[in-house]
């Protein structure tokens, strides 16, 4: 590899591949991935669900703008629907009522349920624990693999190239372009996109650009067998309003997370058994399900900017250096809007009207003031 490109994207997760697809044909695009396959880290470990009433105001604007692609993707790239109806049941014990009230205040479309209505949906809830419940009917499962692979097909049809085992060793601005060094050689482009997930600050440093303070957070999931005596196929996602745990049925199993957010360094995330055990204990306090066996477990990294809002835009201190990082726990469900927005900004155009305010809130300039 020793070529000239229009755009080099570092990272082949949902952010980098989504952008490569959104850029369209007519540009020479190179995607660099440090691992042996694309989507190895956060994208490949996400049990994502599309929840419009999730995140701060900027995240929710991105959710709304992402909805059209999820609901009707281009059949050339997506052979089946990307969303499956799931629903989300938010529940609270007595000690979580303040969090539950805040959830209701921030989510005008959520439906308040009586305890009996909640038990009808999920009969395994403990009656002596449940103090409040609410339901969001429009929450839907996302087929993350289909989204990622569909965008990769689209990107390749546009002419984009993907290089794996090609982590960024260094980059420097020279002659109006970025010259990047990888284990597979050098390449140059006027625009360098930092879509490296948990490694985004590290990539910036390797390019001589100041980091923005991104923090990877570990999130753990354990897979439980279907509990005896219950048919979980039609259950919604069940989420503790106090964010102490959540559970999601999938393919006859129950995926349970302690909803942990533990600051860590960028790495190939592994499970903290104690964190998982604590989350399963909280799950057992709310549900009439004894956890006797965990079939498997895994951990992934969700990377947040200091204000918990993604970073998308050209860095005002480094010509041609574009950030597309810090998506936190919203990366999959906001990826259609972020991909469209990033493609517009890189192309020198104006973002869609519904994303104009979001573009200002997402800009890395907010970390460069003064």
Joined together, the tokens standing for residue 220 give 């753990």
The candidate with the shortest Cα–Cα distance to 250, out of 144, 147, 130, is 144
0.75 exceeded by the pTM?
yes
Q: Which residue has the tokens 């970390």?
A: 367
Q: What is the 3-state secondary structure (H, E, C) of 155-220?
A: HHHCCCEEECCCCEEEEEEECCEEEEEECCEEEEECEEEECCHHHHHHHHHHCCCCCCCCEEEEEE
Tracing tokens 């399900």 back to the chain, one arrives at 289
- CA atoms of 184 and 327, how far apart (whole Å): 28
Q: Phi/psi at 294 (nearest 5 deg)?
A: -110, 115
Distances (CA, A) of 256 to 13, 286, 336: 24, 13, 27
- Please identify every stretch of the chain with a pLDDT value under 70, giving residue numbers as ranges: 1-2, 44, 370
Q: Strand, coil or helix: what is 310?
A: coil
CB 81 within 8 A of CB 97: no
CA 23 – CA 28 distance, rounded (Å): 10
For residue 199, the model assigns a pLDDT of 97
Mean pLDDT, the chain, rounded, equals 94
pLDDT in tens, 157-195: 999 999 999 999 999 999 999 999 998 899 999 999 999
Which pLDDT does position 51 carry in this prediction?
Answer: 86
- pLDDT confidence of residue 116: 96
**pLDDT of the residue at 2:** 52
> Structural domains in the chain?
2-68+143-213+307-367 (3.50.50.60), 88-137+215-304 (3.30.9.10)
The CA distance from 309 to 298, in Å, is: 25
CA distance 165 to 264: 23
CA gap 199, 212 in Å, rounded? 12
Instruction: List 4's β-bridge partners, or say none.
Output: 188
3-state secondary structure of 19: helix
If you search the block for the tokens 């990826």, which residue do you land on? 335
Identify the pLDDT of residue 202.
98
pLDDT of residue 59: 94
Among 353, 266, 366, 352, CA closest to 313: 366
Which structure tokens are listed for 284?
Answer: 């057992």
CA-to-CA dists, residue 279 to 122, 251, 255, angstroms: 19, 22, 12
Token pair 């799931």 is found at: 86
pLDDT at 64: 92
Q: Length of the chain, please?
A: 370
Residue 58 to residue 48: CA distance in whole angstroms: 19
Residues 6+ apart with CB under 8 A from 266: 197, 198, 199, 202, 216, 301
Q: What is the pLDDT of residue 44?
A: 67
Q: Which run of H or of E encompasses 257?
A: strand 253-257
Block residue for tokens 């692609």: 69
Using DSSP's 3-state secondary structure scheme, residue 31 falls into strand
Q: What is the DSSP letter of 327?
A: B
Structure tokens at 165: 């085992």
- What 8-state DSSP symbol labels residue 252? T
CB half-sphere exposure, 352, CA atoms < 13 A: 15
């Amino acid at each position: 590899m020793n070529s000239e490109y229009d755009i080099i994207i570092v990272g082949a997760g949902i952010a980098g591949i989504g952008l490569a697809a959104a850029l369209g044909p007519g540009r020479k695009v190179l995607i660099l991935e440090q691992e042996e396959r694309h989507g190895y880290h956060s994208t490949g470990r996400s049990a994502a669900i599309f929840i419009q009433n999730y995140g701060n105001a900027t995240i929710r604007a991105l959710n709304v703008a992402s909805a059209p692609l999820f609901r009707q993707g281009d059949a050339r790239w997506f052979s089946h629907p990307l969303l499956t109806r799931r629903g989300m049941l938010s529940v609270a014990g007595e000690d979580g009522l303040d969090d539950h009230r805040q959830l209701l205040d921030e989510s005008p479309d959520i439906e308040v349920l009586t305890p009996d209505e909640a038990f009808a949906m999920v009969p395994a809830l403990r009656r002596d624990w449940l103090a409040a419940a609410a339901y969001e009917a429009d929450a839907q499962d996302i087929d993350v693999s289909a989204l990622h692979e569909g965008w990769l097909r689209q990107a390749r049809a546009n002419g984009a190239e993907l290089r794996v085992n090609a982590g960024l060793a260094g980059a420097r601005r020279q002659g109006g372009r970025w010259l990047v060094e990888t284990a597979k050689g050098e390449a140059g482009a006027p625009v360098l996109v930092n879509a490296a997930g948990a490694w985004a600050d590290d990539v910036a440093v390797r390019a001589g650009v100041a980091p923005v303070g991104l923090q990877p957070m570990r999130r753990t999931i354990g897979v439980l067998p279907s509990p005896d005596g219950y048919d979980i196929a039609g259950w919604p996602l069940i989420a503790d309003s106090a964010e102490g745990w959540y559970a999601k049925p999938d393919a006859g199993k129950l995926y349970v997370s302690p909803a942990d957010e533990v600051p860590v360094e960028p790495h190939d995330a592994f499970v903290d058994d104690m964190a998982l055990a604590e989350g399963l204990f909280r799950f057992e306090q709310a549900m009439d399900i004894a956890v006797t066996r965990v079939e498997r477990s895994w951990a992934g990294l969700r990377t947040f900017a200091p204000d918990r809002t993604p970073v998308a835009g050209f860095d005002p201190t480094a010509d041609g250096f574009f950030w597309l990082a810090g998506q936190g726990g919203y990366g999959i469900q906001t990826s259609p809007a972020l991909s469209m927005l990033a493609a517009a900004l890189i192309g020198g155009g104006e973002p869609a009207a519904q994303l104009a305010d979001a573009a200002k809130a997402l800009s890395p300039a907010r970390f460069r003031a003064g």
